[in-house]
Amino acid sequence: MSYFFTSESVSEGHPDKVADQISDALIDNFLAFDADSKVACETLVTTGQVVLAGEVKSNTYLDVQKIARDVINRIGYTKGEYMFDGNSCGVLSAIHEQSDDINRGVDRATKEEQGAGDQGMMFGYATNETENYMPLALDLSHLILKELAVLRRENKEITYLRPDAKSQVTIEYSDDNVPQRVEAVVVSTQHDDFGSDDEMLAKIRKDIKEILMPRVIAQLSPEIQALFNDDIKYHINPTGKFVIGGPHGDTGLTGRKIIVDTYGGKGAHGGGAFSGKDPSKVDRSAAYATRHIAKNLVAAGVADEVLVQVSYAIGVVEPMGIFVDTYGTAKVDLTDGEIAQKVSEIFDMRPHAIETRLQLRTPMYSETAAYGHMGRKNEVVSKTFTQPNGESKTMDVELFTWEKLDYVAKVKESFGL
């Protein structure tokens, strides 16, 4: 019997994602001027107010207020009527120096001996149901909101959009786990107050169906386009009105959208958030490393679907263990345990080795903080950072290094494929 699976996404203007983007902008600025910075920073956003808190060990000084304001303005919170805008909101910083008790478990005589920044387990997942090896429902949910943000910034075809939005997609799967059709699409978007409730709702529903969705579908492969039909259930602004939104409508916190950030509920999640953490925190770096492993395994043909788990103890260099689950889709004559053993031989999962392999001590994190950390485009971009004293630094930064298929050849050789 067929079954349904649903994933959701939230826009860059969602309060929790505003917080994530501020925290990761701080990470990038610290790393730009001191690549050895140790940072764990949290952000809270609410009506007219931003609170920054956390621990830092770094040789650089930043104007954290300006960084936060720049992020908020870039997202689109630039009007007083939103009750939260980058130019007028208060920014309170309670960032202090990192505890020596934590740092002593990380810093060692040589970087190769660097211990894990915390205990815990991290998961990476990949599936061949999409071109970027991501679950389809989440991929579509992200794409809907990315295109909605493009429409908002164009301000031509749809002129009433505000930054906050959410999406959700339900996919019908066959018994053998193949997507059959899109069952339902949910879009809730913040908007200007431009008429009666009925007039606004009718206009928004029409525009989402006739402007947004055709632009989304046009970007998909023919195989995925075929999953869309006239029977899809659309739920657009189901409450009927969404004028009050963003941090004024709901307080936002760093790290509250970890399923949106990863696999939309597919696979598994170890529970640790990513944003606001430098790569010595294995919550972040090892989650990227396990995604890198899972994606290269699937791309190499080891299995159609792979979940990889790694676990650590704080201050300990070697991981506690590596676990692999192929969900019965393995194409090699090996048990999942034997596959895990080969993975441990191919990929060095010591914290410093992960940082080096994925180039994680570069300021690459602002781009991860909205629309998912996984399944994104690996590319090199130029970024400029400025200190309070006016010193600027322009760098070429490679983004989403964990999405590279640079280990496929090694995997194929190891597995005899």
Residue 257 marked ligand-binding = yes
Residue 63 marked ligand-binding = no
Distance between CA atoms of residues 30 and 39, nearest Å: 8
Burial tier of 204 (Cβ tally within 10 Å: 0-12, 13-18, 19+) = buried
Distance between CA atoms of residues 88 and 264, nearest Å: 35
Query: Positive or negative CA dihedral for 243, 246, 252, 257?
Result: positive
Residue 166 marked ligand-binding = yes
5 forms beta bridges with 171
Residue 331 marked ligand-binding = no
Residue 387 marked ligand-binding = no
- CB 33 within 8 Å of CB 384: no
- CB 217 within 8 Å of CB 225: yes
Residue 250 marked ligand-binding = yes
Question: CB-hemisphere CA count at 13 Å for 271?
Answer: 5
- CB 74 within 8 Å of CB 237: no
Residue 19 marked ligand-binding = no
- CB 10 within 8 Å of CB 257: yes
Residue 295 marked ligand-binding = no
Residue 35 marked ligand-binding = no
Residue 165 marked ligand-binding = yes
Residues near 318 by beta carbon (within 8 Å), at least 6 away in sequence: 349, 350
Residue 184 marked ligand-binding = no
Q: Can you say how many angstroms the Cα of residue 90 is from the centroid of all Cα atoms in its chain?
A: 27
Burial tier of 38 (Cβ tally within 10 Å: 0-12, 13-18, 19+) = buried
Token duo for residue 44 = 């809270």
- CB 369 within 8 Å of CB 275: yes
Token duo for residue 345 = 């031989």
167 forms beta bridges with 9, 187
Burial tier of 329 (Cβ tally within 10 Å: 0-12, 13-18, 19+) = middle
- CB 6 within 8 Å of CB 170: yes
Residue among 250, 273, 316, 293 nearest 18 (CA): 250
Distance between CA atoms of residues 82 and 220, nearest Å: 34
Residue 42 marked ligand-binding = yes
Residue 242 marked ligand-binding = yes
Residue 278 marked ligand-binding = no
Region at 349 (left for phi over 0; alpha for psi -120 to 50; beta for the rest)? alpha
Instruction: Detail the residues annotated as belonging to a binding site.
Output: 14, 16, 42, 55, 98, 164-166, 241-242, 250, 256-257, 273, 277, 281
Instruction: Detail the residues annotated as belonging to a binding site for ATP.
Output: 14, 164-166, 241-242, 250, 256-257, 273, 277
Instruction: Detail the residues annotated as belonging to a binding site for Mg(2+).
Output: 16
Instruction: Detail the residues annotated as belonging to a binding site for K(+).
Output: 42
Instruction: Detail the residues annotated as belonging to a binding site for L-methionine.
Output: 55, 98, 250, 281
